Amino acid sequence: MNDFEKNKNDINHFYNSYTNNNLKDKNDKESMNSKKKSGSKAIKMILVVVLCLTIGASGSIAGIGYFLSVNDVNIKEMLSPSTQVVETAPTPQPTEESKIITNEVIKTIEITEQANSPISAVAIKVIPSVVGIRTTFPVNTSRYYFNENSISSGEGSGFVYSSDGYILTNNHVIEEALDFNTNEFKDEAKIEVFIEGDDTVYEATVIGRNATLDVALLKIDATGLIAADIGNSDDIVIGETAIAIGNPGGIQYMNSVTAGIISGLNREILKNNNQGETNLNLIQTDAAINPGNSGGPLVNIFGEVIGINTIKIASVEFEGLGFAIPINSVIAMIDELEEVGYVSTGNPSIGITLGPTFTKEYAEENNLPEGVLVINVSAYGPADLAGIKVFDIITEFNGVDIKTFDELETEKYKYEPGDQVTVKVYRTDGESGEYLILELTLGATRE
């Protein structure tokens, strides 16, 4: 058996994203937790960007944290005053109704026997549209050279987008249940949706998702739901009331309400996901957002959704730094999520990950042809549908010899998504190998 066959059982040495999608390192969470517990003598200040999803493990709940140094997030710049000029309106005189004046448009919230304040009126209106989401997924861990399989779960929030069962939430709330870069469930995985006042536990399907913006569109088999009113995030101004509704700490605290103000607009936050590092332009609020709030709505004083709660920054030095995805950014992609299941970049995609240590020297030592080594194939992606398998060596792309990653990239970008090409691969079965010519239809790289 040559070194190539021995290393088939240890493909972690080869991981390098070909489709510009970084494979998730399951050990990240453990390393993040160890960093959080360690002292901070060597670093003057650490900011923790928390994706506000609760993860259940043996009955415990903990937030998922990303540690960013001051070099990653310029806190002074992020908290600098907005350049937006807001004209203040005269303070209205108290009447039997609470009148809110914004940009010379007067809207009225009726104070009923059920609601003794504008915020409680908003809560009464919006809570029927807010849902709890529980994601169950398999986990494989290594301990003392043994692999252990178990089932874990996470809980987050969402809200009803349409009365026929469409639900909006964060991608990071549900992505652990799905095969890498697809909308297909892993074995034993499921997504459950809980609705206030309804004892039914609904199992959801994934219609589409966008890892870059951290948005997912789900569908449950239900009708007559109360859809949330959608506002206009372009119209919000710094200082106006902001109300977050969701499930901090999990579904046991379902539909908790916190209130504050819009603290800032167009805040750039660096976030890691399956697509690599992404800069998000977010709404900043001091309304409390905690693990479990992810995917829930941030609403204005009229009960209109203006954002999807997604991140908080936690640090000893700072508090009240919560962030939401502007709802206008989400609505702009809904049609594409429904039609194709993801948002396309328009770039061609093969749907594979390549091993960077497969070099000319390695190939010669193991009596293998030069090419690029496939170490991961995205389920239901172009390569998977064409029949390309893990440990295939790609030697030609549409008749052109391929020996390096750069050569494959150069040839791939000569074509458009939907074009059909031929791929020549060398496949081993342990002792010998054979060349295969496969027909592949290029896909589109997704955000």
CA distances from 373 to 102, 112, 426 (A): 59, 67, 9
CA angle 13, 14, 20 (to 5 degrees): 130
CB 98: neighbour CB atoms within 10 A? 17
**368 alpha carbon, distance to own chain's centre:** 39
Task: Supply the DSSP string of 237-296, one letter for each residue.
Answer: -TTSEEEEEE-TTSGGGTTEEEEEEEEEEEEEEEEEETTEEEEEEEEEE-S---TT-TTP
Active site residue 214: yes
Inter-residue contact 295 to 133 (CB < 8 Å): yes
CA nearest neighbour of 307 among 292, 293, 320, 291:
293
CB 336: neighbour CB atoms within 10 A? 15
Residue type, 331: I
- Which residue of the set 129, 153, 157, 294 is catalytic? 294
Inter-residue contact 227 to 255 (CB < 8 Å): no
Number of Cα atoms under 13 Å in the Cβ half of residue 59: 0
CA nearest neighbour of 142 among 9, 285, 323:
9
E strands, 58-145, in order: 60-69, 98-102, 105-109, 130-143
Q: What is the phi/psi pair of residue 235, to 5°?
A: -95, -10
CA distances from 167 to 208, 222, 225, 255 (A): 11, 11, 10, 16
- Which residue of the set 129, 153, 157, 172 is catalytic? 172
Residue type, 334: I
- Which residue of the set 129, 153, 157, 214 is catalytic? 214
Active site residue 229: no
Dihedral of alpha carbons 194, 198, 200, 203, sign: negative
Cα separation, 7 vs 390, in Å, equals: 12
**Local structure of residue 145 (DSSP, 8 states):** T
Judged by phi (left if over 0) then psi (alpha if -120 to 50, else beta), residue 367 lies in left
Cα separation, 294 vs 282, in Å, equals: 14
Cα separation, 211 vs 180, in Å, equals: 11
- Please identify every residue annotated as catalytic: 172, 214, 294
